[in-house]
Amino acid sequence: MADLSGGREVLAVAVAPPGEAPPAFQYSPDSVAGADGEIDPTEITFRGCFCRTSSCVVDVCSCLSHGESYNSLCLRPTDKEEEYTRPVFECNTMCQCSESCQNRVVQRGLQFRLEVFKTEKKGWGLRTLEFIAKGRFVCEYAGEVLGFNEARRRIQAQTSKDSNYIIVVREHLHNGQIMETFVDPTYIGNVGRFLNHSCEPNLFMVPVRVDSMVPKLALFAATDISAGQELSYDYSGRCHNLPMTNREEKSLQEDKRLRKPCYCGSRICASFLPWDGSLFSTLDTSSGSSP
């Protein structure tokens, strides 16, 4: 079987139909420093925990000071509202615990057999070849990690016919700061670059930190997903199908002329792909993510 990752992932990535392949790019399972050299996602800056147990537990482990993130490989919601707002810090290279610690999930890589396939109207897409339970980690959105100026330069160089792969993730950190992460898998990336947008997605994105504050953009199953289903997330970052704010509604109306039609096929389709106008002007302070 063809493996789009060329043996770089822990599981082969299938391609359909046989004999066809998406346009070439350099496959990397993990994010890499961008051509601008501003941010290096492979740097190790966190100190590890001192747990000498095989698996870390809350109240003892310094990596779990925000509470336990996972339960049997599934991301745990923060509260009854099923929100996943807790910051996720996995055990890292410097930790004393074992490789099988329950606080190591995203760093283990692909856990399900996935297939890059040709869709009818959206170019290439990604689907699962096996059942995925709600809360499980599916794949990372890996690519070049860029600084703001290089991300803006690349976005401005795109035409409306180009596929946009650049994602912007804004996080409101606990110290009140806003952290922005720009990932571009156009030239170097992993399977995540084939995820299409849906207005009713089956995945949601969570920034997960392992060795440093540069997050891995991890996609988790929002619902049980059966074999053969296309995988998708909401490019706007409204990860749990929350209604739009008035401000978002207004910017949707303003930007419609510039935007691409959405072919997600959902009954609640917003008709257009989300758009991040802030990269074209000054930075704003909204939360969420959008490629």
> Which of 27, 84, 89, 165 is in the footprint of ligand SAM by CB under 6 A?
165
CA angle 39, 13, 150 (to 5 degrees): 20
Instruction: Give the Cα separation of 42 and 95 in Å (integer).
Output: 16
Find tokens 């490989």 and name the residue: 73
- Residues in CB range of 245: below 8 A, 6 or more apart: none
Partner whose footprint covers residue 228, from ligand SAM, Zn ion, none (CB < 5 to 8 Å by kind)? none
Interaction between residue 291 and ligand SAM (CB under 6 A): yes
Instruction: Give the Cα separation of 136 and 105 in Å (integer).
Output: 9
Nearer to Zn ion, 28 or 212 (CB): 212
Interaction between residue 262 and Zn ion (CB under 5 A): yes
> Which of 264, 274, 289, 291 is in the footprint of Zn ion by CB under 5 A?
264
For residue 268, the 8-state DSSP code is T
Find tokens 């980690």 and name the residue: 137
> Which of 262, 276, 279, 289 is in the footprint of ligand SAM by CB under 6 A?
262
Of 59-78, which residues contact Zn ion (CB under 5 A)? 61
* Half-sphere exposure of residue 28: CA atoms within 13 angstroms, side-chain side: 20
Instruction: Give the Cα separation of 90 and 44 in Å (integer).
Output: 13
Instruction: Give the Cα separation of 244 and 165 in Å (integer).
Output: 23
Of 12-41, which residues contact Zn ion (CB under 5 A)? none
Find tokens 């950190």 and name the residue: 173
Site string for ligand SAM, 15-34 (x = CB under 6 A): -------x------------
Nearer to ligand SAM, 61 or 264 (CB): 264
Instruction: Give the Cα separation of 108 and 10 in Å (integer).
Output: 8
Q: Which stretch binds ligand SAM (CB under 6 A): 74-82, 102-110, 158-166, 171-179?
A: 158-166
Which single residue brings its beta carbon nearest to ligand SAM?
123
Q: Where are the alpha helices (DSSP H) in the chain?
A: 148-156, 246-255
Interaction between residue 272 and ligand SAM (CB under 6 A): no
> Which of 6, 37, 67, 123 is in the footprint of ligand SAM by CB under 6 A?
123
> Which of 91, 110, 114, 218 is in the footprint of Zn ion by CB under 5 A?
91
Q: Which residues bind ligand SAM (CB under 6 A)?
A: 22, 122-125, 163-165, 193-194, 196-198, 260, 262-264, 273, 291
